Amino acid sequence: MDAGGGEQLRLAEVRDQLIREEDSIVFALIERAKRPRNTPAYSAAAAAAGSLAEFFVREAEVLHAKVLHPFASLVCVNDAIWKMYFNELLPLFTADGDDGNYAETVALDFACLQALSRRIHCGKYVAEVKFKDAPQDYSPPIRAKDTNALMNLLTFTAVEEKVKKRVEKKARIFGQNVTLEDSVGKQDGDACDSHCKVDPKVLSKLYDMWVMPLTKDVEVEYLLRRLD
């Protein structure tokens, strides 16, 4: 997604990008779920964890900065993503255990973190498009530094409910263990979920509790700097 060359971003294009990022997140979590938690990858092998953390933060800090306003690089919630992923999300979809595959585990975690960071920091694009579409609505609360008013402008509950249902459905479809004898269309939701590589409800919870709230935090932080 490129905003260079004076080409104005369109909300439909940004939404298409967000939908594609959903696929990346679902597939990344499915791949990570193949390995147990492997906690020693980040305790006993502290050096590897440190380098992963540093690399993740360094790489993602410049995300989208080159195609938006110069202050875009200042808006970054990677610390929150990091804490959420390891403290809250990882225990929800990985089995407790240690299989010794630390290098692969770190690589899979990094893929998940990258996918989450890309999706959440796309909030900068969302905010830019919404501001361009209705500067008369956004400029007053931006000047007043009214974060609550900005959050209200950015919140569309009906859209968020659709997103949660969509990512849950994707996890259900992408994460099934399929055999030639399966009759997917005849399975009810709960029966299907028990055979999924990642519980689809985890994806709905991920978006509800973390992805969408953090995205809106990014949008607000971006907009607060938009008139600088």
The CATH number assigned to the domain holding 173 equals 1.10.590.10
3 occurs within a structural domain: no
How many folded domains does the chain comprise? 1
96 occurs within a structural domain: yes
Per-residue pLDDT at 127: 95
CA distances from 20 to 15, 32, 50 (A): 9, 19, 30
CA distances from 29 to 70, 103, 199 (A): 32, 17, 10
pLDDT digits (tens), the chain, 228 positions = 544 433 467 888 898 999 999 999 999 999 999 999 998 887 644 554 555 656 665 555 555 555 577 778 889 898 899 999 999 999 999 999 999 998 899 889 989 999 999 999 999 999 999 999 999 999 999 999 999 999 999 999 999 999 999 999 999 999 987 666 655 444 555 545 667 999 999 999 999 999 999 999 999 999 999 998
Per-residue pLDDT at 67: 54
110 token code pair: 């990094």
Q: What gap in Å lies between CA 155 and CA 141, rounded to an integer?
A: 15
Q: Which domain holds residue 142?
A: 11-226
167 occurs within a structural domain: yes
Residue pair 41/102 in contact (Cβ under 8 Å)? The answer is yes
4 occurs within a structural domain: no
215 occurs within a structural domain: yes
Per-residue pLDDT at 194: 62
5 occurs within a structural domain: no
97 occurs within a structural domain: yes
pTM of the model: 0.85
Q: What gap in Å lies between CA 69 and CA 77, rounded to an integer?
A: 17
Per-residue pLDDT at 42: 79
Burial class (CB in 10 A: 0-12, 13-18, 19+), 200: buried
Per-residue pLDDT at 45: 46
User: What is the CB neighbour count within 10 angstroms for residue 222?
Assistant: 25
CA distances from 110 to 24, 28, 85, 141, 201 (A): 13, 9, 10, 37, 22
Per-residue pLDDT at 71: 79
2 occurs within a structural domain: no
Residue pair 167/22 in contact (Cβ under 8 Å)? The answer is yes
